[in-house]
Structure 1
């Protein structure tokens, strides 16, 4: 029987680099800033103000909102943002479905290309469990299940997404935007890549999105992010190498 660990693998990767889709496409945004002489230190500042603004309000009227909500950027940065992003997010929240007990919320998110992906917020109260025979400390927590692809080529029989076939990879920013949308409904503590798609078939974007989520302004703990895969265990070792 063929042993996958005896094969020679290239590092898994996503689609080739495309035109920047989202302001949260970290690698692409820093590259574009470098081309026009803008210090990359402004990237996390943009993300911070954008995240705080969108988490509290979805009001974004026109191009001048960049100056209103994100202060102290170079004029060239404002020009770039206005010319490349008509709205702060490339995706839109199409609809939300809440369970009757309000513990689960399914977000249907429309991407810039017209495709849809799902993200699911799962809430739970840690005080309902017990530790050493005593009620656990804590309170209400929320985990976000996010998608990494539109469709999936793996064809798992137990998964509805597998019947769609593979459509496209999400960019790192499109993955992160699911967290931004979800944060308007709950304070997300954990993230699991168990939505649409096989994460390791979109490796580069998934790794970059995790780097963004564990940095400013999201500051998620790396140990609270889970990548679920049906790929070979060797690829999992590569993920650990990248972190």
Structure 2
């Protein structure tokens, strides 16, 4: 990524955008939002995310969650405006998806994880880098890495966490569209997927031969520690 330090039109417009956002935040409270205002604000988030995504592919990957999250917020606002909310059955289904995914991960010995349902359209899974790599292996069609890592392979091999995130992204996308995985500042790997993809992942882990692995990670070997940094 190459950035210029010289002021220009983009810098001025970005400053105007943040001033407008601050003004909106100061004026808004839960009782003042309308469905239309929520949709406009969500659209602004998507436009800004799309602009920042042009910086480089990694930024695009990081920001890929924004359209999904914005759509979920707009959907909730529309339901509230119509005097309806997500059905009780829908709420049970969402909770069931998260619970099934937690159980499927634990069945393979992946216990150090956090699963969150964010609205109606996004499930996130946060894992340590070795467990993210282990999940990628479990979800691949073969008991091997989804892709062989080469030292000069751009985007791969840049440390254990980035390698695990890249492998997990490939593995998740085989089970549904829109999935991603990225490295957090904590060094953990966070994956985002739709509820449908989360269900497919849970089903794949459950039906995988040896799914009830008594805490052992199938196919990883006794000394699996994740990929070491080169």
Common topology (TM > 0.5): no
TM-score by length of 1: 0.23
* Larger relative strand fraction: 1
Which of the two has higher C-alpha Rg? 2
